[in-house]
Amino acid sequence: MKAVTWQGRRTVEVRSVPDPRIEEPTDILVEITTTGLCGSDLHLYEVLGAFLDEGDILGHEAMGIVRETGPGVHALTPGDRVIVPFNISCGTCFMCVRGLQSQCETTQVHAYGTGAALFGYTKLYGQVPGGQAELLRVPFGNTLPVAVPHGPPDDRFVLLTDVLPTAWQAVEYAGVPPGGSVAVLGLGPIGDMCTRIAAHRGAGTVIGIDLVPERLDRAKRRGVDVLDLGRLGSRVVEAARELTGGRGPCAVIDAVGMEAHGSPAATAAQRMTSLLPDALAARLMSRVGLDRLHALHLAVDMVRRGGTLSVSGVYGGMTDPLPLLTMFDKQLTVRMGQANVLRWMSDLLPLVTDGDPLGVEQFATHHVPLAEAPAAYEMFQAKQDGAVKVLFRP
Ligand SMILES: NC(=O)c1ccc[n+]([C@@H]2O[C@H](COP(=O)([O-])OP(=O)(O)OC[C@H]3O[C@@H](n4cnc5c(N)ncnc54)[C@H](O)[C@@H]3O)[C@@H](O)[C@H]2O)c1
Ligand SMILES: [Zn+2]
Ligand SMILES: [Zn+2]
């Protein structure tokens, strides 16, 4: 089959690789019909190379048609249409039954002390072959994949694998009071969807902050109060306060993560690390703080006293410095983590099947064949051509 493989810093290639096969009785094989490109893939593209091997198959946002089921699978049959959550969770352990699928105790990666394994996401998360491929082996066939109806286009469902549950959890964790205010830092796919879900769930003021004009325009067209970080610089904090009665938003969602703009020293450190031999780079990444923390610091500064920070952007350093004095003094609540995809499925399924209040069908900006993945990675990273969400059609 053909798959998108990592081949080095800023290098992905579509290669022919062996087809996956059923290995465990509860495995299924899915023929991928649509698979997303995510901001999380960009961290692998540029920064987290030390944790990948050449040839690793990328991707964690896959849906398609069940081609084959292991002998222990009774919940699905070949021909069913499914979405595949990005967390690899068993559905039956202590964490899974509590809705903490990103901490699944059956798939936690003990070698690195991390939570549940993920599709296509480095040795830190199990080095499991990913979904930017023609075929995907999916374990826990009875409890992990979610069947969706035949008929509506894939765009209706594919965001259930990551974007929708991640944004839903970010808004849930933000705890915006009814009619209250929330600022979303970053208007990539995750931040954009956070603004839509926050408005849908009753926030009174939704502020979106980014520095890419097309992304700001796109949010503005849906009624978001947008602030251009590129133009405002640090005055963005003051601008957010002006929109919220002088106090600052009740909650701030960080949908940016470790590669934030505005952190020149950390940018240089990340560049340097990505040039070091893997073993050395991995040690450095896991011992010191190498994240670009600009967005997180903005969030701490901007949120109102007694407010909540909800962090869905991914960070990777072990000892990143945080402004604890301010966080303590402002009495902040901080919630964060990898999305528990299945936890939110019953909230989200009706929103993509009954009407389309979140605009999922028009959400993707680009649909491209898998063969064009290398150019699509480049475009998405450089934020060219208005690219916000790229979907591959294997
Ligand atoms: N928690 C989870 O389960 C989960 C799931 C998916 C993605 N993520 C993470 O969420 C983050 C966003 O993902 P995405 O797909 O939307 O990625 P993206 O890279 O397309 O979006 C990030 C956006 O942030 C903007 N930005 C950069 N610096 C900024 C700053 N200082 N202030 C405000 N905005 C800034 C960029 O211009 C960009 O538009 C990534 O870190 C990704 O890894 C987390
Ligand atoms: Zn993703
Ligand atoms: Zn589990």
**Domains assigned to the chain:** 2-161+340-393 (3.90.180.10), 164-336 (3.40.50.720)
For residue 80, the model assigns a pLDDT of: 98
Q: Distances in Å between the alpha carbon of 111 and those of 74, 116, 117, 318?
A: 32, 12, 11, 16
Within 6 A (CB) of ligand 1 lie: 38-40, 42-43, 162, 166, 185-191, 209-212, 215, 229, 255-257, 260-262, 294-295, 298, 312-314, 338-339
Q: Could you list which residues have their CB under 5 Å from ion ligand 2?
A: 38, 40, 162
For residue 284, the model assigns a pLDDT of: 55
Q: 256, 363, 390: which to mutate for ligand 1, most atoms within 8 A of CB?
A: 256
For residue 244, the model assigns a pLDDT of: 98
Residue 87 and residue 126: Cα distance in Å, rounded?
Answer: 11
Query: In this structure, which ligand is nearest to the CA of 190?
Result: 1
For residue 281, the model assigns a pLDDT of: 64
For residue 49, the model assigns a pLDDT of: 83
Distance 85 CA to ligand 1 centre (A): 19
pLDDT in 10s for each residue of the chain, 394 residues = 999 999 998 999 999 999 999 999 999 999 999 999 999 999 888 888 889 999 999 999 999 999 999 999 999 999 999 999 999 999 999 999 999 999 999 999 999 999 999 999 999 999 999 999 999 999 999 999 999 999 999 999 999 999 999 999 999 999 999 999 999 999 999 999 999 999 999 999 999 999 999 999 999 999 999 999 999 998 999 999 999 999 999 999 999 988 777 655 566 666 656 656 666 666 555 554 455 788 899 999 999 999 999 999 988 777 778 899 999 999 999 999 999 999 999 999 999 999 999 999 999 999 999 999 999 999 999 999 999 999 999 9
Distance 329 CA to ligand 2 centre (A): 34
- Residue 102: what residue type? S
Query: In this structure, which ligand is nearest to the CA of 258?
Result: 1
Q: Which residues contact 258 (CB under 8 A, 6 or more apart)?
A: 43, 47, 270, 290, 291, 292, 313, 314, 315, 316, 317
Asked if 253 and 184 touch (Cβ cutoff 8 Å), the reply is yes
For residue 314, the model assigns a pLDDT of: 87
For residue 319, the model assigns a pLDDT of: 74
